[in-house]
Amino acid sequence: MALNDNYKDHYKSSDIENWGNLGVTEVKFAVYRDGVQVSYLTFNGIGSDKNNWFSRDRLISAPYRDLLDVDLTIYYFSIEGYQRDRRAFYITGGPHIGCSLDVGWTAVIDTGGFSDYCQWPRATRKPIITYSRTSGMVNFNTDDAVRADFMAVFIKS
């Protein structure tokens, strides 16, 4: 399968279900726009599983300087994310106290629902993959929070 957004459904390798036997050492979460990688996060995959690799304590590298600051408060950093608003692969630097104050680095919204009351996650095509195009956290309501065409997860064994 080519790495582009021509495949209009979710694709997940069957290897994911065999994660524990793959000897995963590193995991990369990457987002793409117009076929080009525009952002990424790299994680330590040693001892991880298919659900816990996307976490702050496993983060190795990122283009976001502030995200690497251990003193910065992060409210959500997980694959599961903030389920009430259906935000997955979600990293946010603020509490949920109103749409205009939604700040963070990345969010993936795959279904409609409660999240649609905010303006920024609305779209006719799901999933919505939002990321910061700056070197740090952004307000998801601004032009610095942009939409990617697709995301990919790569594992290194």
β-pairing verdict for 145-148 and 128-132: antiparallel
The pLDDT value given to residue 112: 60
Q: What is the mean pLDDT of residues 149-154?
A: 92
Q: Whole-model pTM?
A: 0.89
Burial (Cβ within 10 Å: 0-12, 13-18, ≥19) of residue 57: exposed
Helix/strand/coil for 123: coil
Assigned token pair, 93: 């630097």
Per-residue pLDDT reduced to its tens digit, 63-91: 999 999 989 999 999 998 877 777 889 99
The pLDDT value given to residue 113: 54
The CA distance from 130 to 151, in Å, is: 10
